[in-house]
Amino acid sequence: MKKDEAIIFDLDGTITDTFAPAIKCLKEALRESVGGEVTMREIRAHFGRTEEATFRAHCGANWRESYAKYEQLFNKNITEDVIFPGMKDVFNFLKENKIKMALVTGRGKTTTDIILNKIGIRDYFDYIKTGSAFENIKTKSMLEILDLWKQAPEETYYIGDIPNDIIDSRAAGIKPLAAGWFREADPSAQAAQNPYKMFATVAEFFAWIKQN
C-alpha cells in the first residue's frame, strides 16, 4: 500500500475470532433472563447491530440487567489469543510505513474495548467507531472517518468478512476488501458482491499489502 492510502478494518471475523465465546456468553446471559434457549437464528437476526439489540428484543424492560451479565461473561471468556495469527504483523508493517488505520465495527463499545484491551491493538488505530443497537451505521462511520482524515475514499480500503461489509464500504465510496480466513466466511456470497479484492488467508492479505 502507498503512503497516501488508508485502510479501515472490521473487527470480528477479520482481526479476531470471537464468534464462539461471544455466542456462548450471549446464550448464557439470555438463558437466565428468558428462562430458555435462544436459537442461533434468533441471534443472527440482530447481526449488524450491537449486542444490545438482541437483549432489547428478548428481555424487555429487564434488558439492562441481562446485558450487564453478558458483558461480565464476555470479559471473562475473551483471551488474548482471539486475534488471528499474522494480524499483528500486518498492523506493525502498516504503522512502520505510516499508512493510516482505523476500525469500524458493528459491535458495541464495551465489548469492543474488552477485545482491544485484551489483544493490545488499540493504539494502531487513529479512530475507532462502534455500532448502534438500532441500525447498521457502518457506512456512516466510514464517512465520518474519511472526513476526520481528510482522506479521499478512492484511496481508502475497508476489509471485512461478510457481504454487507462490501456493500457498506462501497456505499461510502471506499474500495471493499473481503477477508475469507474466518471459518464462518462465505466466499461465494462475498464474490457475489464483487469486492475489489478477496483474500483466503491473512498471509495472502499481508503479501498484497506489501506488494500493492
Say whether both 51 and 116 belong to one domain.
no
- Of 77, 101, 119, the residue at which a domain comes to its end is 77
In a domain, 171, yes or no: yes
- Of 77, 104, 120, the residue at which a domain comes to its end is 77
In a domain, 46, yes or no: yes
Say whether both 72 and 177 belong to one domain.
no
Query: Residue 167 to residues 49, 63, 67, 132, 155: CA-CA distances in angstroms?
Result: 15, 31, 29, 18, 17
Say whether both 103 and 30 belong to one domain.
no
Say whether both 171 and 104 belong to one domain.
yes
Say whether both 46 and 141 belong to one domain.
no
The CATH number covering residue 120 comes to 3.40.50.1000
pTM score, whole prediction: 0.92
Residue 37 is classified by DSSP as P
In a domain, 141, yes or no: yes
How does pLDDT run across 177-210, given as a tens digit for each residue?
Answer: 999 999 989 999 999 999 999 999 999 999 999 9
Say whether both 100 and 57 belong to one domain.
no
- pLDDT number for residue 11: 97
In a domain, 118, yes or no: yes
In this predicted structure, the answer to whether residue 110 has a pLDDT above a threshold of 90 is yes
Query: Residue 160 to residues 16, 171, 173, 176, 199: CA-CA distances in angstroms?
Result: 11, 14, 15, 8, 10
Say whether both 181 and 203 belong to one domain.
yes
Say whether both 61 and 104 belong to one domain.
no
Distance CA 146, CA 73 (A): 35
In a domain, 103, yes or no: yes
Range of the domain at 89: 6-17+81-211
Say whether both 67 and 121 belong to one domain.
no
- pLDDT number for residue 197: 97
Amino acid found at 159? I
- pLDDT number for residue 143: 98
Give yes or no for a contact between 169 and 142, defined as CB atoms under 8 angstroms apart. yes
In this predicted structure, the answer to whether residue 161 has a pLDDT above a threshold of 90 is yes
In this predicted structure, the answer to whether residue 174 has a pLDDT above a threshold of 80 is yes
% of the chain beyond a pLDDT of 90 = 74
Query: Residue 170 to residues 120, 149, 157: CA-CA distances in angstroms?
Result: 29, 18, 10
In a domain, 68, yes or no: yes
- pLDDT number for residue 82: 96
In this predicted structure, the answer to whether residue 47 has a pLDDT above a threshold of 80 is no
Count how many Cα atoms sit within 13 Å of the Cα of residue 28 in the half-sphere of its side chain: 15
- pLDDT number for residue 133: 86
Give yes or no for a contact between 42 and 58, defined as CB atoms under 8 angstroms apart. yes
3-state SS assignment for residue 83: strand
- Of 77, 94, 110, the residue at which a domain comes to its end is 77
User: What is the number of domains present in the chain?
Assistant: 2
Say whether both 85 and 177 belong to one domain.
yes
Give yes or no for a contact between 27 and 39, defined as CB atoms under 8 angstroms apart. no
In a domain, 1, yes or no: no
Say whether both 13 and 23 belong to one domain.
no
Say whether both 58 and 138 belong to one domain.
no
In a domain, 181, yes or no: yes
How does pLDDT run across 65-89, given as a tens digit for each residue?
Answer: 989 999 999 999 999 999 999 999 9
